[in-house]
Amino acid sequence: MLTPLQDSVRLLDILNYFVDCVHEEKPTPLIELMWKDIVGPTLSEYMEDEAIEIRLREAFEGSELKNQIQGWDIKRMNDGSVKLILRDLLGEINRIEREYKNQ
């Protein structure tokens, strides 16, 4: 689905779309449109896509996912230091995108 947009949609954008959906407790209009574009050509693929969409919608509408995201960034280490997961994730995204552009 994103193949023609590879130069304009980054992994960071996808992460941001996900966080926006969690914050709004529902898919954003752009995500809704993208979901409609994923449908497979056969009935069984369509049914599988529909089931995934239902599970995602339920996850966004509940408060559990939102609550989990609020505290996931800091991991406290045994020595008293902290590991900032989002900073590491953004660094990894940057590395992957750099490697992709260098191919």
pLDDT at 78 over 90: yes
Q: Is the pLDDT of residue 45 over 90?
A: no
pLDDT in tens, 86-97: 888 888 888 888
Q: How would DSSP label each residue in 12-72?
A: HHHHHHHHHHHHHTS--HHHHHHHHH---SSHHHHHHHHHHHHHHHHHHHSHHHHHHHHTS
pTM comes to 0.64
Mean pLDDT of 52-71: 85
Q: What is the mean pLDDT of the chain?
A: 82
Say what the pLDDT of residue 64 is. Answer: 84
Taking only the tens place, the pLDDT of each residue in 22-44 is 888 899 988 888 877 766 678 88
